[in-house]
Chains A and B, each alone.
Chain A
Amino acid sequence: MVELMNILPTRPPSSLIASGVIACILLLGGCATAQPPSPQLTATLATANETVKQAREVGAQEYAPLELQTAEQKLEAAKTAIAKKDNERAGWLAKEAMVDAKLAEVKARSAKTQAAARELQESIETLRQEIARKKNG
């Protein structure tokens, strides 16, 4: 549409009408579905699968069970959508599963790292107390 407006003064009216009609058809085409899964969709699905696996490996089941569950459900839903030839929805679900799994993974790593930091700080504190006790004793 923007492109059409830019070229407006240099084009004759007939081609303008044709362009408008083509644009409308293109927009309508966005609504259509039922294409075989694209290589891009297959790749997204694989990445989502991998990310879920990674999240599990770093302990997301313990530290981010909700996000992990959502990711897994969306991954299943994406596969179902592909089976139903709904590739567009499958693509959305796969991408969402990917970010959900990523969030689960980061949450788990963050929680574990924070716990480790606290533990380290506590061990330092214990050591300091021991030093103070030895100094006084």
Chain B
Amino acid sequence: MKISACTRYTSLLLVILFAGSLLVAGCGGPPRYNPLVDESRASYADAASDPDVVANAPDVLQAAEADLRRSEQLLHDGADPEEVEHYAYLAKQRVAIARETARLKQAEASIKRAEVERKEVQLEARTVEAEAARAEAEASRREAERRAAEAESNRELAEQKAQEAQLARQQAEQALARAQELANRIAELEAEQTARGLVLTLSDVLFDVDKADLKPGAQRAIDELANFLNEYPERNVLIEGFTDNTGSNEYNLDLSSRRAMSVKTALVARGIGDSRVRTIGYGEEYPKATNGTAAGRQLNRRVEVIISDKSGNIPTRSN
């Protein structure tokens, strides 16, 4: 009894349900399938499986899901397709908003990171710039030092050259003074400049006739010659003796040699080195004047002292 009543209620309910569903179907279109709902479902599923979107736009995603479920429910219930699609559209747009929000949040995060990075890079740039400035300063300091050192060495060089010039000038002055001195001494010796060099002629007044010993009056002339030779040690002398034509040749040669030797002996006695003084007798050769007169013969009776050049050389007699 209870079972049969139950069955009756069930069949009655089915009838009512059927009628209801017919009425509902009358309000909307017949389809239970909607492409926009499918599209929204797909795009929602896509976004919901994207961790970026889930993390960055959970609220919008949730709202999209609610709209999607609503559209599905409405579709299932056979509601007006316009309403179904309205919610499907809302869902689709909210998914798009969620996706774009995720992109926005990511861009904002990347800006934040980039700002930190930029600060670091700017710091590095400043450090590098400071380092470059320091290196530049160091380089110009070194350059300045190098220039100063160069200037100093130039100055020293100039000073050295000035000193050398001064020395050279002094030496030139000394040489000039020595030359002047020599000229003075030569003038004192009453020497005469000839092609063979300086020639000092000692006349026979220094010797008695037919004698080779120096007279006391000759001492002054010998002293001066010895002083000169002491002062100019680079110079040597050649002493040549001559006679007039009275007497034999052999005798005259011997006499002239002895007279020259007397002069040498006197010089050596005054400290002049033996090797610096050579002697030679020419007898009556190379007369300076005629032997025909007493005055001419007196000029021929003589001793000539030839003073060497600075190297000690004396050219040989050629005339």
Chain A residues with CB under 8 Å of chain B are 1, 4-5, 8-9, 13, 16-17, 20, 23-24, 27-28, 30-31, 88-89, 92, 95-96, 99-100, 102-103, 106-107, 109-110, 113-114, 116-117, 120-121, 123-124, 127-128, 130-131, 134-135, 137
Residue in contact with B90 in the complex, picked from A16, A96, A130, CB distance below 8 Å? A96
Q: Is B96 an interface residue (CB 8 A)?
A: yes
What residue of chain B has the Cβ atom nearest to residue A30's Cβ?
B27
Residue in contact with A27 in the complex, picked from B24, B101, B129, CB distance below 8 Å? B24
* Alpha-carbon separation in the docked complex, A89 to B114 (Å): 47
B97 CB contacts on chain A under 8 angstroms:
99, 102-103, 106
B117 CB contacts on chain A under 8 angstroms:
124
What residue of chain A has the Cβ atom nearest to residue B111's Cβ?
A117
User: What would 19 A/B residue contacts be, using CB atoms closer than 8 Å?
Assistant: A9-B6, A23-B20, A24-B20, A27-B23, A27-B27, A30-B79, A92-B83, A95-B90, A96-B86, A96-B90, A99-B94, A110-B103, A116-B107, A116-B111, A117-B107, A123-B118, A127-B118, A131-B124, A131-B125
Q: Are A134 and B132 in contact (CB under 8 A)?
A: yes
Majority DSSP secondary structure for residues of B touching A: helix
Residue in contact with A135 in the complex, picked from B8, B13, B16, B128, CB distance below 8 Å? B128
Looking at A13, A17, A120, A135, the one whose CB has the most chain B CB atoms below 10 A away is A120
A99 CB contacts on chain B under 8 angstroms:
90, 93-94, 97
Residue in contact with B20 in the complex, picked from A17, A20, A121, A124, CB distance below 8 Å? A20
* Alpha-carbon separation in the docked complex, A9 to B7 (Å): 11
* Alpha-carbon separation in the docked complex, A120 to B109 (Å): 12
What residue of chain A has the Cβ atom nearest to residue B104's Cβ?
A110
A5 CB contacts on chain B under 8 angstroms:
13
Proximity bits, B31-51, A CB within 8 Å = 1, else 0? 000000000000000000000
Q: Are B115 and A120 in contact (CB under 8 A)?
A: yes
Q: Are B121 and A124 in contact (CB under 8 A)?
A: yes
Q: Are A106 and B12 in contact (CB under 8 A)?
A: no
Not counting A24-B20, A28-B27, a sample of 18 additional A-B residue pairs whose C-beta atoms are within 8 angstroms of each other reads A17-B16, A20-B17, A20-B20, A27-B23, A27-B24, A88-B83, A102-B93, A103-B96, A103-B97, A103-B100, A113-B104, A117-B110, A123-B118, A124-B121, A127-B122, A134-B128, A134-B129, A135-B128
Contact flag A131-B121 (CB < 8 Å), given A92-B82, A92-B86, A103-B93: yes
What residue of chain B has the Cβ atom nearest to residue A95's Cβ?
B90
Q: Is B89 an interface residue (CB 8 A)?
A: yes
Q: Is B108 an interface residue (CB 8 A)?
A: yes
Q: Is B9 an interface residue (CB 8 A)?
A: yes
* Alpha-carbon separation in the docked complex, A106 to B60 (Å): 12
What residue of chain A has the Cβ atom nearest to residue B103's Cβ?
A110
Chain B residues with CB under 8 Å of chain A are 6, 8-9, 12-13, 16-17, 19-20, 23-24, 27, 79, 82-83, 86, 89-90, 93-94, 96-97, 100-101, 103-104, 107-108, 110-111, 114-115, 117-118, 121-122, 124-125, 128-129, 132
Q: Are A16 and B13 in contact (CB under 8 A)?
A: yes
A110 CB contacts on chain B under 8 angstroms:
100-101, 103-104, 107
Contact flag A16-B9 (CB < 8 Å), given A113-B104, A113-B108: yes
* Alpha-carbon separation in the docked complex, A131 to B79 (Å): 67
CB of A15 to closest CB in B, whole Å:
12
CB of B84 to closest CB in A, whole Å:
11
B6 CB contacts on chain A under 8 angstroms:
9
What residue of chain B has the Cβ atom nearest to residue A88's Cβ?
B83
B24 CB contacts on chain A under 8 angstroms:
27
What residue of chain B has the Cβ atom nearest to residue A32's Cβ?
B27
Q: Are B103 and A114 in contact (CB under 8 A)?
A: yes
* Alpha-carbon separation in the docked complex, A121 to B94 (Å): 30
B125 CB contacts on chain A under 8 angstroms:
127, 130-131, 134
* Alpha-carbon separation in the docked complex, A106 to B105 (Å): 10
CB-based closest 3 A-B pairs = A20-B16, A110-B104, A113-B107
CB of B27 to closest CB in A, whole Å:
5
What residue of chain B has the Cβ atom nearest to residue A100's Cβ?
B93
* Alpha-carbon separation in the docked complex, A134 to B121 (Å): 13
Contact flag A131-B107 (CB < 8 Å), given A27-B23, A92-B82, A106-B100: no
What residue of chain A has the Cβ atom nearest to residue B63's Cβ?
A99
